[in-house]
A and B are shown apart, each in its own frame.
Chain A
Amino acid sequence: MSGVEGADLTEEERQRLIELRKARQFKKFTYRGKTVEELMNMSNEEVLDLVKARTRRRMLRGLKRRSQAFIRKLRQAKAECPEGEKPRPIKTHLRNMLIIPEMIGSQLGVYNGKQFALVEVRPEMIGHYTGEFSISYRPVKHGRPGIGSTNSSRFIPLN
């Protein structure tokens, strides 16, 4: 019943899966008192009141929208994808893009200098920047310290 392969799902079974997934959302997410549905239906001006100062400032200054093309692509991808599936990832170099309610549910590929890190936008990510979710450095794993790393080891003769 629940172990059905994706390719063999009939329309009816797919609908049931979707219903199940919706029913399974036990934790109601609220962003400062607003649910996800309310957020997605808000205009940008209303969202301004909810977010914190940095985000608000950025939205006010950037509402001339350098990233319009990106948002449009996101919308398109969402519209194209069938219900219950995730939209195809949209790649971007825009690490400084704010995550707004409109983007919830989309998949982004955020460039970290070398690769596009896959980020699925969740409602908890509102107000953060896309770059925050795509780490741009490899965390340091210290190896053996080399010559010259400490003051005492600097004059080891090179044989």
Chain B
Amino acid sequence: RRRRSAAAPPRVCLVPQVFLGGLTAPKPAATMAENALVQTDDFQHMLRVLNTNIDGRRTVVYALTSIKGIGRRFADLICKKAEVEVTKRAGELDDEEVERLIAIIANPRHFEIPSWFLNRQKDYKTGKDKQVYAQNVASSLRDDLQRLKQIRSHKGIRHYWGVRVRGQHTKTTGRRRTAVGMA
């Protein structure tokens, strides 16, 4: 009979610890790491990374997307490069891991992130490929628009007027005209 194997698994108390009225031994640290449902004391509910607040309760990858300039794909990649456990919650990250992530965000090409992955390639002024993040996103957008306006290019003029830039028909659309970023 194959059902009863020679080395039978040890008998385990299958009743959850919770029901045993509180007289259980404290959980050893090993299972705490495995069991992400249990909070440690140094869990940070909100981190501050790169001048942005990050919700600690979310998984690392998705928490990092709160930083401007970092989306899901990029966050996933930097976590892999930083060798951060992707199943962790953001609040569980050590300072050292956060430092590693920041280093990769600031210098992605160093860590073998291909240049086609980055959001500002062949930068207008320096020609380098880089990732803009946090406040740099807004300021680099502003620089671009500023440049277009200064050279009086048609695109710049449309931005200045607050009108659609990319050749769309404006006769009937865009009636609920909100503030302009890129049209």
Binding site for B on A (CB under 8 A): 30-34, 50, 52, 122, 124-125, 128, 131-133, 135, 139
Contact = CB atoms under 8 A, between A and B. Distances in A.
A122 B122 contact: no
B126 A124 contact: no
Contact of B127 (A32, A124, A139): A32
B135 interface: no
A33 B128 CA distance: 8
Nearest to A122: B151
Nearest to B154: A132
Dominant secondary structure at the B interface: loop
Contact of B126 (A30, A122, A128, A135): A30
Contacts of B154: 131-133, 135
A124 B147 contact: yes
Interface string B120-135: 0011111110000000
9 contacts: A30-B127, A31-B124, A31-B127, A32-B126, A32-B127, A33-B127, A34-B127, A50-B122, A124-B151
Contact of B124 (A32, A131, A135): A32
Contacts of B116: none
Nearest to B126: A33
A139 B127 CA distance: 35
B165 to A, nearest CB: 12
B153 A133 contact: yes
A122 B149 CA distance: 13
A120 B46 CA distance: 53
Interface in B128-183: 128, 147, 150-155, 157, 161
B155 A139 contact: no
A106 to B, nearest CB: 15
Given A133-B151, A133-B152, 4 more contacts: A31-B127, A33-B125, A33-B127, A33-B128
Contacts of B151: 122, 124-125, 128, 133
Contacts of A133: 151-154
A31 B122 CA distance: 10
Contacts of A124: 147, 150-151
B161 A132 contact: no
B125 A32 contact: yes
A32 B122 contact: yes
Interface in B86-123: 122-123
